[in-house]
Amino acid sequence: MSATSVRTRRPAALLLCCAALLTACGSSGGGAAVVRADPATVPPADPAQVAATAAATGAFGLDLLHTLTADPAAAGRNLVLSPSGLATVLAMVLPGARGATADELAKALHTGLAPEQYALATGALNRPAAATAEGGPVLRQSDDLWAQRDYPIDQHYLGVLAAAFGTGVHTADFRKDPEGARKAVNGVVEKATEGRIKNLFGPGGINPDTRLALTDALYLKADWAEPFKAGRTADRPFHRLDGTEAAVPTMARSARLRYAEGSGGILGEPWQAVELPYAGSTLAMDLVVPAQGGFAAFRKGLDQAELDRILGSLAERTVDLTLPKFHFDTSNELSPVLRALGVKAAFGPAADLSGIPGPGADGGLAISTVVQKATVQVDEQGTVAAAGSGVGMGVMAAPAPANPVELHIDRPFLFLIRDTATGRPLFLGQVTDPAAR
């Protein structure tokens, strides 16, 4: 069996046909059969644009890290996120964005590419090689679009998603059965991540105003090229950020690995780095370890250029390595994080996602929620990691009618008669007794 999962797609024309018949193929709560584009219809992405998008996704990931750890309460907690997953769902939004909404998304994503080019480059990054060596990693990434059963969607927009991501179209009845729709969306993500990501959209994350939900599911299971021996795993001390110490199960091995160390430079903090390759692929886990007491300053100063410099300095050495086993989950509502990164218009009445709805849509769209759940497990054999990323979009509610202001003129008052164009007062006076002559 192939170690790498390859998504099955059908012709983009079929996708557009289904999109035009959303009402006919809808189902209450659950989703209609998914339709995907044929790989043969995917336009070739420019290699330079793909490389630039990979670097941009790295910079976006560091922005997410810095923003999520800016809060002192969160800075000392474990964190796992998927820059690729979040960049992908935003790349699915971007071709439908216009004006300031598109500009803010592009800036946060560190891309100067046109939205369709960015989507194609991101999709190219997400497509794994068709074949890997026997025993190589299982790597799956799938993207889905959920639409209100009677909500018209622009066919050009759907065509871009089909070409870039092979995005499947499901229909659901968010209006009448938002909870059933939420369970259906979450169920597809849970299945795609081998049960690792549950309830991506929490209660209320999908509601009767939801018209579209975009999801990305990423699953990785990879064995080390050289596994750690379980017999060498033992409890060893681990020094926490607050100065306390804990004994944790720690793996150990001595091997030829790509390694680097340094100090000073932009970061001004000593560090060590090592790369652990996974079997049968070009995938690897890079570990960057600042000196004791320097973690916070190192993390705060780390940018993409410095990370590239660190990874570029790795060279093969014999390394006596110890590595704690770890397994944890992270769940984030990322709307505040994106706002902090400058994506503001997309979330409010100024949102311009007019490239998504088709004719007759019931009101403009705005992003209502951006969520991500991720998990990682590292042990002697290798790594299992998964992430689900989602964007919910809903119609902008009409402003509630303002309560009338009450003004009963039953007391003395001033009056002014003026030229409003120039501000020149023509008459000014007061009324203290309307009955007097």
For the segment 144-166, what is each residue's pLDDT rounded down to a tens digit? 999 999 899 998 899 899 999 98
Which of 29-33, 200-204, 290-294, 372-376 shows the lowest mean pLDDT across its residues? Answer: 29-33
Q: Which CATH number fits domain 234-324: 2.30.39.10, 1.20.1250.20, 3.40.50.880, 1.25.40.80?
A: 2.30.39.10
pLDDT-derived band of residue 328, with 50, 70 and 90 as boundaries? confident
* CB burial readout 89-101, b (16+ within 10 A) else e: bbbbbbbbbeeeb
CA distances from residue 191 to 9, 140, 196, 388 in whole angstroms, order as listed: 18, 11, 8, 11
Return the pLDDT at 274: 86
pLDDT-derived band of residue 143, with 50, 70 and 90 as boundaries? very high
Once rounded to an integer, what is the mean pLDDT over residues 209-218?
96
Which of 5-14, 98-107, 210-219, 337-346 shows the lowest mean pLDDT across its residues? Answer: 5-14
pLDDT-derived band of residue 334, with 50, 70 and 90 as boundaries? very high
Mean pLDDT over the full length of the chain: 81
Look at 126 and 338; give whichever has higher pLDDT.
338
Residue 423 near residue 244 (C-beta atoms within 8 A): no
* pLDDT surpassing 60 at residue 424: no
pTM given for the model: 0.83
Name, in order, each residue with C-beta under 8 angstroms of 128's C-beta and a sequence gap of 6 or more.
Answer: 4, 5, 6, 139, 140, 141
DSSP state of 227: P
Q: Are both 12-220+330-395 and 234-324 of the same fold?
A: no
- Over residues 124-136, the pLDDT tens digits come to 988 864 445 566 8
Residue 379 near residue 193 (C-beta atoms within 8 A): no
Once rounded to an integer, what is the mean pLDDT over residues 34-48?
59
Spatial CA neighbour of 196 closest among 227, 165, 221, 230: 221
Return the pLDDT at 401: 52
Once rounded to an integer, what is the mean pLDDT over residues 195-218?
95
**For residue 36, is it left (φ>0), alpha (ψ between -120 and 50) or beta?**
beta
The SS3 call for residue 418 is: strand
* pLDDT surpassing 90 at residue 232: yes
* pLDDT surpassing 70 at residue 17: no
**Cβ neighbour number for residue 264 with a 10 Å cutoff:** 8
Return the pLDDT at 22: 37
Return the pLDDT at 298: 86
pLDDT-derived band of residue 142, with 50, 70 and 90 as boundaries? very high
Return the pLDDT at 120: 94
Return the pLDDT at 245: 85
Once rounded to an integer, what is the mean pLDDT over residues 7-30?
36
CATH topology of domain 12-220+330-395: Antithrombin; Chain I, domain 2 (3.30.497)
Return the pLDDT at 405: 59
- Over residues 53-63, the pLDDT tens digits come to 999 999 999 99
**For residue 199, is it left (φ>0), alpha (ψ between -120 and 50) or beta?**
left
Once rounded to an integer, what is the mean pLDDT over residues 81-91?
94
Domain ranges of the chain: 12-220+330-395, 234-324
